[in-house]
Chains A and B, each alone.
Chain A
Amino acid sequence: MLNLLRSEWYKLLRNRSFWLLLSLLFVSAAAYVLLNYFDDPGDGGALDVTTGIDLLTAAMGGNNYIIKIGLSVLGGFYISSEYATGTIKRAVASGYGRSKYMTAKLLVFIAGSMLAALVFPVVNLTLGSALFGLGDLAGISESAYILKSIAMTLTLSAAFAAVTGATATLLTDSGKTIGFAFVFYFFADGLYAMAGKFLPFADTLYAYSIFNLINHYSDPSMSSAAFAQSVYIPLLVAAAFVAIGIAIFRRKEIK
């Protein structure tokens, strides 16, 4: 298993899509901070971010889309491309069980996704704090908010990565994976709302779904119970979708 993890990590670190995603996130985060820095409200500027913590809160709101879009693209290119290049054949024939191989693949993909999901908020926080100062929040200590933010970014990105990973395993095509994940993630809220009109249970399900949790995870006034939900529900979703991805792969014939 360790060999598989090492090999997958080696491939991820040499995956162009991964580095392109990290670079784009880094540059856009830095650009966002600098835009705020050079935007002078006294000179008609519209941006009102004034501290590192403010930037972190704003970045986490935007990270919602980064996690959904960025990880879909990464999943498409990192997992599905193995089918396009045929390298999946070599992996399956390598003498490891399919479950082991897919576990390693998904775990490394999730780890890479968590790393990518951290870039935008962390760059905003560190660069913003360097330029504006850390700032403070009412009702919660800054360090607690930062730690909670990082924890929720990690768990939610893990959950979305697992869903994307299972989708990529099922669809085996980069374009289909990216397309399906885009459509599904962006219409999931609406689908739940529509289903809720007919099935009251769907509303409850949505309230505890990762799609709802990610919409609120930047809220500094989040209760401890809500925070706990934003940690364990994504972890359960991630575990479930890793299991689903493995189950799909175990039954999949490689063409």
Chain B
Amino acid sequence: MNEYVLRTQQLTKQYKGQTALDRVDMTIRKGTIYGFIGQNGAGKSTLMKLVTGLAFPTAGSIELFGASGGAELTLARKRMGVSIESPALYPQLTAAENLEAHRLQQGIPGKDSLKRTLELIGLSGTGRKKAKNFSLGMKQRLALGVALLGSPEFLILDEPTNGLDPMGVVEMRELLTRLNREQGITILISSHILSELHLLATHYGIIHRGKLLEQLTSRELQEKCRQFIHIKVDQPERAAAVLERELATTEFEVTADGAIRLYAHLDRPAAVSSALVSGGLALEQFMPMGEDLESYFASRIGGGAHA
């Protein structure tokens, strides 16, 4: 069995001379939840469109379930469930009818899959209500339901939490986690809510201006988002000397604004503060801090940007 669900090599897409995707080598392993992070226009949707066959690559290759190119790749897409950009639904049809149209198209036997899917996405009570009258959150859930019909092995979800209320976001996260753990569905997901993505993803890809800057596991991210004690004192140089002498550590850095980031003795904050006060320093600020996915993403793309 191929352990990779998706592999792209030097995948490039240009629109009228503008490079939307620049030589992207992406790897998604079977059974992972791959959080795809990037600003608006960074290339997330473009990559998803290439993988799903909506657009054609300018250069490079796509390997899906081991199949690359031509009819083989097209056939491999039968194993995917997709929701890209806005929820793609027939507005005049009910939730059940939307699912039925997709069921017929995919040749999924038995109508009982409709009921199961409606229950799974929490829309079993919508009856004759047409999709055009759904809230954005309901549309998102129905789009996910359509993507899930036919038991896909790989889900591609572009901003699936758009329009969901806080409870809806939590429910979506729990549902995706359950699908991943219980059914082994591999998920490629992009979201603007990085804190949510942080709770969900097992792997990350950071894309910026069409280039895939980095791919990392959640463990690697954890290591990179280092925790530290933020210390602000009246004399940073003297504080540095105290830390070296009294706590025997050089695992700290002095930032441009004179603050100290101490990466050691995180479990002994009392000892640290006591050493500094004993060294004759006035403590102005003293608190444990650390980077999260959001700040790490900002630092990777050069700061100040929104995903």
Residues of A within 8 A of B (CB): 3-4, 6-7, 10-11, 14-16, 85-98, 253-254
Interface size class on chain B is 35 or more
Tell me, yes or no, whether B74 is within 8 Å of chain A by CB: yes
20 A-B contacts (beta carbon < 8 Å): A3-B106, A3-B107, A10-B100, A11-B93, A14-B101, A85-B90, A85-B91, A86-B84, A86-B86, A90-B88, A90-B146, A92-B52, A92-B53, A93-B53, A93-B54, A93-B77, A93-B82, A93-B84, A94-B77, A94-B105
Chain B hits for A16, CB < 8 A = 92
- Whose C-beta in chain A lies nearest to the C-beta of B13? A253
> What are the 4 tightest A-B residue pairs by CB atom distance, in nearest-first order?
A95-B78, A7-B105, A86-B88, A93-B52
Q: With A15-B92, A85-B88, A87-B88 in contact, do A92 and B101 touch (Cβ < 8 Å)?
A: no
Please determine whether A95 and B80 come into contact, CB atoms closer than 8 angstroms.
yes
Q: Name the CB-closest residue of A to B85.
A: A86
Q: How close is B55's CB to chain A, nearest CB, in angstroms? A: 5
**A94 with B104: in contact, given A87-B90, A89-B82 (CB under 8 Å)?**
no
A90 with B78, Cβ < 8 A, contacts A14-B97, A15-B92, A253-B55 known: no
Contact residues of A: prevailing secondary structure:
helix
Q: A3-B104, A94-B102, A95-B76 are in contact. List 16 more A-B contacts (CB 8 A).
A: A3-B105, A3-B107, A4-B105, A6-B104, A10-B100, A89-B54, A89-B84, A90-B88, A92-B53, A93-B77, A93-B80, A93-B156, A94-B105, A98-B53, A253-B56, A254-B54
User: Is B199 an interface residue when CB atoms closer than 8 A count as contact?
Assistant: no
Q: Which residues of B contact A3 (CB under 8 A)?
A: 104-107
CA distance A90 to B105 in the complex (A): 11
Residue in A closest to B84 when the chains form the complex, CB atoms = A89
Instruction: Report the nearest A residue to B15, measured CB to CB.
Output: A253
Interfacial chain A residues near B79, Cβ < 8 Å: 95
Contacts of B97 in A (CB 8 A): 14
A145 vs B272: C-alpha distance in the bound complex, in angstroms? 103
Give Cα A92–Cα B79 distance, bound, in whole angstroms.
13
- Distance of B171 from chain A, by nearest CB (Å): 23
Chain B, residue nearest A96 (CB): B74
- Most A Cβ at <10 Å: residue of B53, B82, B89: B53
- Smallest CB gap from A15: residue in B: B92
User: Complex formed: what's the CA distance from A89 to B50 in Å?
Assistant: 11
CA distance A4 to B107 in the complex (A): 8
Distance A94 CA – B71 CA, assembled complex (angstroms): 13
Residues of A within 8 A of B100 (CB): 10
**Distance (Å) between the CB of A212 and the closest chain B CB?**
37
B214 vs chain A, min Cβ distance (A): 27
A253: chain B residues at CB < 8 Å are: 49, 54-56
Residue of chain B at shortest CB distance from A104: B105
Per the bound structure, the CA–CA distance linking A99 and B93 in Å amounts to 26
